[in-house]
Amino acid sequence: MMKMRTVPLPPSLTATLDPAQPPAKDPARRWPLPARPRPASLRLTWTTWRSSPSGPLCRGVSVKCRITRDKKGMDRGMYPTYYLHLEREDGKKVFLLAGRKRKKSKTSNYLISIDPTDLSRGGESFIGKLRSNLMGTKFTVYDSGLNPAKTSSSLEASNLRQELAAICYETNVLGFKGPRKMSVIIPGMNMDHERVSIRPRNEHESLLARWQNKSTESVIELHNKTPVWNDDTQSYVLNFHGRVTQASVKNFQIIHDNDPDYIVMQFGRVAEDIFTMDYNYPMCALQAFTIALSSFDSKLACE
C-alpha cells in the first residue's frame, strides 16, 4: 500500500515523478491516469504552488495536511471555522485554506478562502464553496466563478463557475450503526493532462446528474475504502499508517476501484478538534479540503 510522504515546502517543492506514460484513449475513465510529461525531477516554487490551490497535483506528489476546527466564540459551536495547514518535515505548519459555514442558508453552505481573516463571499480571497442538498447527503464543490442561474444566458462559458467535485453519502434509512459509504465524483483529465472543465448551465449538466444518469465520460468516480471489522477493538478499522489515532465515523480513505491500494485521499481524527488530511494526484487542495468539510457536516440519515 502506498505510504504518504511529506513534501518539503517552502521554499520549493521537489518531487520525483513516475516515468511519463502514453495518454489513454479515454483518460477520464481509465485508471491510473496518464502521468504529466515532465522531467524526472520537478521543481515548483512555493509561491506558484501556494497560489494554485485548485490545480491538480502531478503524479508522484503527495501532500500531508492538518485541519483545525475552531468552535470558540458566541456562535462558533453552530458555525465553526476550519483551517487547513500544510505539515512540513520540520514540524512547522503553513496555512493553505480556511472554510466557514454560512448562516441563514437553506442548505449547508461553506465558503472557502485563501485568507484566514477574510471569509466573506465578496472578498478577493474567496476561491470556492461547498453546498449540500436539503438532506445533507449530497454535496457539490464550486470554484469562484459565476452562478449560471444569476447571469444572462449569453455569458461566455469561461466565466461560469466550475464544478470541482460532488460527494454522495449513502443513507442508512434503517438506522444501522456502521461506517458511512460515500462516492466522490471529480472531473477527469484531458489529453493535455489538464483537468476537464465542467461548467454546467443547468442541473442536468452537473457532476451529480452525470453520475446519477451513468454518463461518466470525462469524470472520475471514486469511493471510500470499506473498513474491516476488528474483533479486538470491536470497531471498523482502516490502516492509516499512524496518521489517524482516534476512532470516528468521519474517518475515511478515498480510492479508485481499479487500484484499491492507491490512496487518493485520507482523512481522520487525531484530537477533539484536530484532523489529518492527506491527498495525492489527481486531487487538488480545494477538492480534498471540501470533501473533508462534507464529512464534518451533520447528516442525520448517515449516522
- Average pLDDT in the 19-30 region? 40
Residue scoring higher pLDDT (236 or 35):
236
pLDDT at 252 over 90: yes
Please give the pLDDT value at position 227: 85
Please give the pLDDT value at position 97: 96
Residues 6+ away with beta carbon under 8 Å from 251: 238, 240, 244, 267, 268, 269
Please give the pLDDT value at position 207: 95
pLDDT at 19 over 70: no
Task: Report yes or no on whether pTM surpasses 0.85.
Answer: no
Please give the pLDDT value at position 183: 95
Distance CA 158, CA 160 (A): 6
Is residue 99 a contact partner of residue 111, using CB atoms and an 8 Å limit?
Answer: yes
Distance CA 264, CA 251 (A): 14
Is residue 59 a contact partner of residue 281, using CB atoms and an 8 Å limit?
Answer: yes
pLDDT at 189 over 90: no
pLDDT at 34 over 60: no
Which three cell numbers, joined as nine digits, stand for 302?
A: 448517515
Distance CA 64, CA 83 (A): 14
Mean pLDDT score of the chain: 78
Is residue 207 a contact partner of residue 166, using CB atoms and an 8 Å limit?
Answer: yes
Neighbours of 22 (CB within 10 A): 8
Q: Which domains does the chain have, with CATH numbers?
A: 63-302 (3.20.90.10)
Band of pLDDT at residue 184, cut at 50, 70 and 90: very high
